[in-house]
Amino acid sequence: MTSLSFPIHRRPDPTPLDRIAAVHASPGFGTHFTDHMAVADWTTEGGWSGDEVRAYGPFSLDPASAVLHYAQEIFEGLKAFRREDGSIWSFRPQANGERLGRSAVRLALPPLPVDAFMASIRSLVEVDQAWVPSADGEEKSLYLRPFMIANEAFLGVRPARKVLYCVIASPVGSYFASGVKPVSIWVSTDFNRAGPGGTGAAKCGGNYAASLAAQTQAAASGCDQAVFLDTVERKWVEELGGMNVFFVMRDGQIVTPELTGTILEGVTRSALLQVAADRGYTPVERRVSIDEWRDGIASGEITEVFACGTAAVITPIGRLAWDGGEAIINSNETGPVAAELRAALLDVQFGRADDPHGWMTRLV
Ligand SMILES: *Cc1c(COP(=O)(O)O)cnc(C)c1O
């Protein structure tokens, strides 16, 4: 396998620094994009080629491109953090590269070697380093979005013989504009996200498309997001549309649903299991039923519930609602354990704390 280096071809007209500063002052989430993107092509005959970093801009896509019809697509999400000394780091990027490879296998796309994945994000962050915001006393960072699409122009149903890999980047602020605030969650019983043998463990756009109707129903019921149950017994808690879920128990256990093949294995999830153990909690991976969640809040056995993922790190869950009832968790406030774990992980990510597990990789 040839190794890809993603050579940089700088655009002649980069965004002036004062305009970047204006974006950094109020970045939002996923609305502004940097000056460049990393791309590579793959064909069955030639393998990977055409790797480069070039000016950000639209693709020319044949209307028959397979991705537009059969959703043969996968993606990743990770962040680049600027430290006070100006250096730029990423949190466990190899884990994202490995997960992209597993998602590729499931979606019958060509796995990109992890060293090529690393080269793609290094080159992009190198050329667009001015776009990586300072933490700013907040949680600002550069969100990286690698993705892969089938772009063979062919309407037959089989794995595409032509594929495009791309990485784009977007400066992001704190997910919570005015401080961490608990969200409300709707228990989705009309819609499922993933079934056994399906694509639930892969990070693919199709899973997100399938979650949107539940999301709409959650919003119509006054909730921020939906939580999905398993499709077989329809009682085991799986995850939100794009975040894993954790329960804090009165006795110091930190419980998250075990990986069953229908849950996406979050990088944040696995890091939090370790951070919890480091801080004296007992991390547990096991099945949790929706009845245990409801009854545990009522009995006080469950003291906090939170969701986690790269974008928001930890999002407390303050209210659980379902067809016919609701339960308030921890007085609808951010709990001490969620706050503690969130701060601990952010401190590692921004280089404010030791990194005993070697999670940080310097990019620039
Ligand atoms: C990306 C994602 C997560 C969170 O994964 P992280 O690696 O922690 O960002 C959780 N669930 C789903 C369905 C996801 O797509």
CA angle, 262 then 268 then 273, to 5°: 90
Q: How far is the CA of 224 from the centre of ligand 1 (A)?
A: 17
**Count of domains for the chain:** 2
pLDDT, tens only, 5-19: 999 999 999 999 999
Residues 112 and 255 in one domain: no
Residue 77 lies in a domain: yes
Write the residue with the smallest CA distance to atom 12 of ligand 1.
Answer: 242
Give phi and psi for 184, each to the nearest 5.
-105, 145
Residue 7 lies in a domain: no
What is the structure's pLDDT at 1? 52
pLDDT, tens only, 278-294: 999 999 999 999 999 99
Residues 218 and 293 in one domain: yes
Please identify, among 172, 192, 212, the residue that sits at the C-terminal boundary of a domain. 172
Rounded to the nearest angstrom, the gap between the alpha carbon of residue 129 and the centroid of all alpha carbons in its chain is 21
Residue 364 lies in a domain: no
Q: How far is the CA of 263 from the centre of ligand 1 (A)?
A: 9
Q: Which of 11-25, 84-98, 128-142 has the lowest mean pLDDT?
A: 128-142
Could you tell me if the CB of 32 is within 6 A of ligand 1? Answer: no
From 199, 243, 315, 346, mutation site for ligand 1 pocket: most ligand atoms within 8 A of C-beta? 243
From 100, 244, 314, mutation site for ligand 1 pocket: most ligand atoms within 8 A of C-beta? 244
Residues 126 and 256 in one domain: no
Q: Burial letters for 138-164: b for 16+ Cβ neighbours within 10 Å, e otherwise?
A: ebbbbbbbbbbbbbbebeeeeebebbb
Helix (H) or strand (E) segment spanning residue 320: strand 313-322
Residue 64 lies in a domain: yes
Could you tell me if the CB of 203 is within 6 A of ligand 1? Answer: yes
Please identify, among 172, 198, 220, the residue that sits at the C-terminal boundary of a domain. 172
Q: Rounded to an integer, what distance in angstroms lies between the CA atom of residue 325 and that of residue 321?
A: 6
Please identify, among 116, 137, 172, the residue that sits at the C-terminal boundary of a domain. 172
Could you tell me if the CB of 266 is within 6 A of ligand 1? Answer: yes
* Domain interval for residue 64: 17-172
Residue 31 lies in a domain: yes
Give the CATH number, domain containing residue 344: 3.20.10.10
* Total Cβ atoms within 10 A of residue 128: 28
pLDDT, tens only, 230-283: 999 999 999 999 999 999 999 999 999 999 999 999 999 999 999 999 999 999
Residue 355 lies in a domain: no
Instruction: Please check the confidence at residue 176 and state whether its pLDDT lies above 80.
Output: no
Residue 37 lies in a domain: yes
In order of 77, 103, 265, the CA distances from 270 in angstroms are 15, 17, 8
Write the residue with the smallest CA distance to atom 10 of ligand 1.
Answer: 243
Rounded to the nearest angstrom, the gap between the alpha carbon of residue 64 and the centroid of all alpha carbons in its chain is 29
Residues 44 and 114 in one domain: yes
